[in-house]
Every structure is written in structure tokens, then in C-alpha cells.
Amino acid sequence: MSAGDVLILNEVSKAYDGRVSMLDRLFGRKAKSLQAVREVSFSIRKGEVMGLVGESGCGKSTIARIAAGLMAPTGGEIGHPGRLRQQMIFQDPFSSLNPRWRVHDIVAEPIRTHGLRPKQEVSARVAELLTQVGLSEADGAKFPQAFSGGQRQRISIARALAGEPDFLILDEPTSALDVSVQAQILDLLRDLQARLNLTSLFITHNLPVVRLMADRIGVVYLGELVELAPTSAIFEHPRHPYTRLLIDAAPDLDAEDRSLHPIPGELPDPSDPPSGCVFRTRCLFATDRCASERPKLRKIGPGEVRCHYDLDLTGRELVA
């Protein structure tokens, strides 16, 4: 942790207590608690894009919500040294914009709420923001339903930038979009990133997208951060078997090599996670130690990994 950190998560956990219905109580069933996030630690430096990848239900969105302060952790702490103004961009541009508000008012709201501009300058600032995200000033008079998914996501971005955030959280911002539109939004975000020196947390299940966008990547599996390293290290020298398998699992555009690389096994029940290492039930290298002892997140090379062993997984295809 250094002075340049914008956000620090220290051993953050989130557990949900299961609800017990009357019927369950009659049968004497106990509540099942669910550990959605377990002892996740990382910090984000100023000007950095930190990516979080993982499959659905792994806890990456819960981490985002905790980082955004929308949800309190049940363990550990979050710190933000200094002033922190944050904004969030969500996956679904259809539910995240109020259909009864004109675009101008949607974008103006954070400016008014935070009193960022004198009243008479708000309209000019909204026009500037709309232009910045590739829309026009005239679009401000329309309602969100007049726009396509990609354009709505531009409105969400304009609204987020209107709050002049120190820190931006993007939760699957392009997952609902078609490929050609996704590329436009990724281009826009990269451009804004470079021009405004934004600090952000970028959450996605899409590895090529996070590889394009992030400086550093955290890989999440079953509520745990299993690996954290600079983007090039994650892809060129993955240290955790899950990272390697995840990279190989997505089909690429090579039509000559048609091999598929499924990750062996199935995701365990999150309310009954394996003992020791959470990934051991699907890991080709698992030993007795992995069942009895939970690995710590430890430094290795330029990153950190939650694995007992120093595995060299470079360029290696793990075949079950």
C-alpha cells in the first residue's frame, strides 16, 4: 500500500445468512450461510485500470458493490485515503437509465447533486459531456428509449463522467452489447481513460476485453481472489491453474486449430465450498495438502497467487 492508492481492500469478506422459512423451521432445518466473498485484498493505484475476471456467481459483482460502498462487507475493511468521488456504470443500459427523464436531466443530475457547476453553466457542461461520448447536444432533449443499447451506454458514461469521479466502477459495461458496438464503447472508454487519467475497476467475464482494458487483473473463483498480477503476466505467465484453464477455455478465431479446452469438472455448490483450496476439486495438480490447508495469497514474480505450489503454466495446455 502506497500513498498513490485510491482504494484499498483488506481481507474483505461478505457472507449471506440464509433465510429459514417457517416450513424449514418446522422440519428443524438450519439456515445455510453463503460466503459470497472471502478475504479479498487488493489496492488500486491512481490512474490505474484494475480488472476483475471470473465466471457468474464467483463474487466479482459483490466485490464491485462493496468497493462502491453500495454494500457493507461482513469482514475486513475498505479504505480510501483522501477524497474519493466515485461513479458506477452498469451492465444493462435499459434498466440503469430512468425512462421518464430526458437525457439532459440524467446527465445533469450528478452535477447538480454535487454542486459541481454554477446553475447557468450546467447545460453547457451537459452538452460538452454528450459530445465527449459521441452523442450530440440535441440528444439531450430525448428520452432514453429513443436510443439503442450502445448509445444508452454512452449516456451512462456521460452521466458517470458528469460527477467528475476520482474512481469509476464498471460492471460488465459491454456484455449486453453486440460485438461491433462493444468495440465502439471499448474505444471510447480507452480514449477517455487516456485523456482524463481515470482510475477504475473494470469487471467482466470476458478475458479478451479485460486484456484490452486493464493494467492489472484479479482472477476470482468461488468468492476468492486466486491470482492478481499485471495483465501481461496473467496472460503470458499465469501462476494459478484456474487462470490458465480460463484463458484456454474461450474459443479463439483460429479455424485451423479446432481444439476445445473445457475446464474439467463442475463448479462446487457455493454454500458448501471444498475444504482447503477452493479450486482443488477441478485442479489437475491437487495434492492432499490442498484439501487440508487453505493456501494464502502470496507474492510470486510481479503478482500474487493463492496456490501452495510454484507451478510453471507458461504456454502449457492443461488437458484433462
Partner 1 sequence: MTAPLLEVRDLSVTLARGGDELPVLDKVSFDIAPGEVLGVVGESGAGKSMAGVAIIDLLVPPLRRSGGTITLGGERLDLLTPRQMRRVRGKRIGFVFQDPMTSLNPVLTIGRQLTDTMRRHLPLSRNEARERAIAWLTRTGLPNPARVFAAAPHELSGGQRQRVVIALALCAEPDLVIADEPTTALDVSVQAHMLQLLRDLHEETGTAMMLITHDLGVIAKMADRVAVFYAGRLIETARTEMLIARPLHPYTAGLMQATPALDAAGVMRVKAIPGSMPGLGATPPGCAFHPRCNRSRDLCRQVTPPLADAGGHAAACHFPLRQEVA
The single residue among 26, 266, 315, 319 that binds partner 1, judged by CB under 8 A, is 266
Would you count residue 272 as binding partner 1 (CB under 8 A)?
no
C-alpha cell at 275: 475444504
The single residue among 32, 45, 46, 211 that binds partner 1, judged by CB under 8 A, is 211
Residues 137-166 that bind partner 1 (CB under 8 A): 148, 150-151
Three-class secondary structure of residue 5 per DSSP: strand
Would you count residue 260 as binding partner 1 (CB under 8 A)?
yes
Would you count residue 318 as binding partner 1 (CB under 8 A)?
no
Which residue spans within 46-153 are E strands per DSSP?
49-53, 75-79, 86-89
Cα angle: 73, vertex 221, 250; to 5 degrees: 135
Three-class secondary structure of residue 35 per DSSP: strand
> What's the CA gap between 27 and 229, in Å, rounded?
48
> What's the CA gap between 131 and 153, in Å, rounded?
14
The single residue among 251, 284, 298, 317 that binds partner 1, judged by CB under 8 A, is 251
Would you count residue 208 as binding partner 1 (CB under 8 A)?
yes
Would you count residue 56 as binding partner 1 (CB under 8 A)?
yes
User: What is the length of the chain?
Assistant: 320
Residue 198 Cβ vs partner 1, minimum distance, rounded to whole Å: 18
The single residue among 263, 277, 283, 313 that binds partner 1, judged by CB under 8 A, is 263
Would you count residue 250 as binding partner 1 (CB under 8 A)?
yes
> What's the CA gap between 106 and 156, in Å, rounded?
9
> What's the CA gap between 216 and 218, in Å, rounded?
7
By CB under 8 A, name the binding residues for partner 1: 55-56, 148, 150-151, 178-184, 186-187, 205-209, 211-212, 245-246, 249-256, 258, 260-263, 266-267
